[in-house]
Amino acid sequence: MTRNSFVPKLSIVLLAVLLGGILPLHAQMDLLPFIFRDIPPELEQGIPVTMTYDEFRSLNRNIDFFTVGMSLIAPGYGFFSVDRPYAGAAVAGGRAAGYGLMAAGVIRQWQDFRDVWNGQDLSAEEWDSLKVNAFLFGSGAFLNMVLWGVDVLGAYHVALEEKNWVIYHHGLKVEHESRGEDEIEQLRSYFVQDDPAVREYLRGRLHRIAMSSSWGDFPREDLQEALYYHGVMEYGRGRSERAVLQLLSAYTVEGTQWQQKVGSLVVDILSSRQALAWEDDRELLWEELGRAGESGYGYPDLVTLLPELQHEGLRSELFLMANRYLGSGEKPLQGDLVLFSMARAWAGQGDIQNAATAYAKLIRFYPESPMAEEAGKRARALYTALGDSQAAEALE
């Protein structure tokens, strides 16, 4: 190949590469109008009341030709449009590097373009420079083309998967409801699946049930089964602190077939290597497991562990559970016990403000409690230490 024939042949190669990428992509995009309908027939009669806005957006996302065109102009637009900002930023960064390579090739060759187009002989040095510059420009163009395809097809895949999940989830829910089955039947069907989308939804739903302030809305056996599933999933994710406390709270639900499974999993966790990091708290939890099996043991009794726990992870999880109980009603039956335990724990950590506030709430909402007098003394002492004499006098 002569030097003068290099440019036209390079142009033919670049054109072939460009068309080779665009034509399959165009054929793939032709399928989109058939796959992405405006509103699926399953929902033509209305939107389910349990559907979240995020699910509605997922259902109606459309990777159309506008998205394809905008992705070409604005690198990463496809991934950004399906709420994948990190992937979008990666594509934008990669395409910026591609543009940088193209610009470097053009800038390096700028002064020699006249000799190339006029067909003049090139020196050996100019010829070597031309090859390097052509490689830089071609590499940058190829990188841009590939990442554009990744952006569009990746966003298409994400949108399709999310759309399929929403239709599957709500369609399955409608089927269970048509059979007169409770929510636990749907959770049970999800628990045996390994699909990441199913597992992520199930984990979030079970966590909301565990942290819900309306446990009374669930049948006792269904509640314990759901809490067991939640403990299994959290333990599998390495969150042993949350798992063991959630399972101990589930163990307080008496008289169901799940109690033995819950207790067995608590033993497994307390015997695991992860539990060795809890040191003195581990022995305390063993004792609590024995107490939780006694008749009359309730959820607030578990919260009384707060002042005794040393491990920060266990303490923070139990604080969340304590707040869940306090939010379970206008005036929870044993709210005084929970508030007193929380106040003692905060005082032990040196958080005087929160401790004084908890004691003050106990006095305000549970004046008839046998702990009210002691709470009053402690609250006044703490407010005095804070220099808030007005609050201390108000509690006289």
**Domain boundary at 304, 328, 352, which?**
328
**Domain boundary at 117, 145, 178, which?**
178
Pair 210, 299 in one domain: yes
Q: In this predicted model, what pLDDT tens digit does every residue of 249-285 receive, in sequence order?
A: 777 666 667 878 888 888 888 888 878 788 778 888 8
Is residue 307 within 8 Å of 344, Cβ to Cβ?
yes
**Domain boundary at 285, 310, 328, which?**
328
Pair 205, 126 in one domain: no
Dihedral of CA atoms 277, 278, 283, 285 in degrees, nearest 10, equals -130
Is the pLDDT at 216 greater than 70? The verdict is no
Whole-prediction pTM value? 0.65
Pair 75, 165 in one domain: yes
Pair 32, 139 in one domain: yes
Largest CA distance in the chain: 104
Domain ranges, residue 281: 182-328
Pair 162, 57 in one domain: yes
Is residue 355 within 8 Å of 332, Cβ to Cβ?
no
Q: In this predicted model, what pLDDT tens digit does every residue of 333-354 receive, in sequence order?
A: 788 888 999 999 998 888 999 9
Pair 256, 275 in one domain: yes
Pair 144, 96 in one domain: yes
Is the pLDDT at 31 greater than 50? The verdict is no
Q: How far apart are CA 73 and CA 71, in angstroms?
A: 5
Q: How far apart are CA 76 and CA 154, in angstroms?
A: 10
Report the domain count for the chain: 3
